């Protein structure tokens, strides 16, 4: 599973994703390739895709749908995204299972991140959309401060502490970047990594 890390506090959100995916060829062999797992949805909202590469197509379809609905507040987008992605994922799994047995490689989850104008005390929100109960049903949970997939509890503990103290986003970004570098050094992250922030000014990619 490719590594993703998210953090949020009153200043905004920091996102990081390892842009690597694995698919099975016609002979059942694993093929590794690059995919951009960090997808801006609106000016102040983004989606991180974990798991199957087809999640990127689901996210792109959601982005087009949201443009038509003219939604911008992440709290409004969350309910719509959960329903829309659930339908897309069920369709994807039904199609896959006609050809192959259910395999963990086909699982996909999402982290929705963005700004809300409905709560001045908590202007930024993170939501984890995943198969909480059973395949292929998607459910959602709100993320308080920091979260990672696969879970990196030591890093999450440090990020949670920084977020609760409302550390500047640049300090949180550095901690996340250092964490990714350590995982690369251990051989647990191998693909290129993308970083982005969401603040009052909006979504900003931090990659060239």
Residue 33's beta-bridge partner residues?
21
pLDDT of 208 > 70? The answer is no
pLDDT of 98 > 70? The answer is no
* 197: containing domain: 4-205
pLDDT at residue 74, as a whole number: 97
Question: Per mean pLDDT, which range of 74-83, 105-114, 150-159 is the poorest?
Answer: 105-114
**Tokens describing residue 131:** 């198969």
pLDDT, mean of residues 16-23: 82
Instruction: Say how many domains are in the chain.
Output: 1
Which 3 state secondary structure label does DSSP give 43?
A: coil
Contact 103, 109 (CB under 8 A): no
Q: Nearest-CA neighbor of 54 among 138, 125, 110? A: 110
Q: Looking up tokens 């920084």, which residue turns up?
A: 162
Give dist(CA 103, CA 127) in Å, integer.
Answer: 25
pLDDT, mean of residues 96-105: 54
The CATH number given to whatever domain includes residue 199 is: 3.60.20.10
**Tokens describing residue 164:** 């609760």
pLDDT at residue 85, as a whole number: 93
Q: Nearest-CA neighbor of 195 among 1, 60, 53, 5? A: 5
CA angle 170, 174, 179 (to 5 degrees): 150
pLDDT in tens, 38-52: 999 999 999 999 988
Contact 112, 129 (CB under 8 A): yes
Give Rg (Cα) of the chain. 17
pLDDT, mean of residues 72-85: 95
Q: What is the pLDDT confidence band of residue 138, given thresholds at 50, 70 and 90?
A: confident
Contact 86, 65 (CB under 8 A): no
Contact 55, 110 (CB under 8 A): yes
Contact 149, 51 (CB under 8 A): no
Residue 14's beta-bridge partner residues?
7, 197
pLDDT of 27 > 90? The answer is no
Which 3 state secondary structure label does DSSP give 202?
A: strand
pLDDT of 158 > 70? The answer is yes
pLDDT, mean of residues 70-82: 94
Q: What is the pLDDT confidence band of residue 112, given thresholds at 50, 70 and 90?
A: very high
């Amino acid at each position: 599973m490719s590594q993703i890390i998210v953090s949020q506090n009153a200043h905004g959100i920091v996102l990081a994703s390892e842009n690597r995916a694995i698919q099975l060829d016609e002979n059942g062999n694993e093929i590794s390739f690059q995919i951009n797992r960090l997808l801006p949805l609106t000016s102040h909202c983004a989606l991180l895709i974990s798991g199957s590469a087809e999640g990127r197509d689901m996210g792109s379809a959601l982005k087009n749908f949201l443009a038509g609905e003219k939604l911008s507040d992440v709290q409004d987008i969350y309910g719509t995204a959960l329903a829309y992605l659930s339908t897309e994922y069920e369709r994807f799994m039904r199609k896959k299972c006609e050809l192959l047995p259910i395999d963990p490689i086909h699982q996909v989850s999402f982290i929705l991140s963005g700004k809300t104008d409905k709560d001045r005390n908590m202007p930024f929100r993170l939501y984890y959309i995943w198969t909480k109960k059973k395949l292929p049903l998607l459910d959602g949970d709100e993320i308080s401060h920091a979260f990672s997939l696969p879970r990196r509890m030591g890093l999450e503990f440090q990020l949670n502490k920084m977020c609760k103290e409302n550390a500047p986003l640049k300090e949180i970004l550095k901690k996340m970047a250092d964490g990714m570098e350590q995982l690369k050094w251990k051989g647990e992250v191998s693909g290129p990594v993308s970083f982005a922030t969401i603040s009052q000014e909006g979504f900003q990619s931090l990659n060239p």
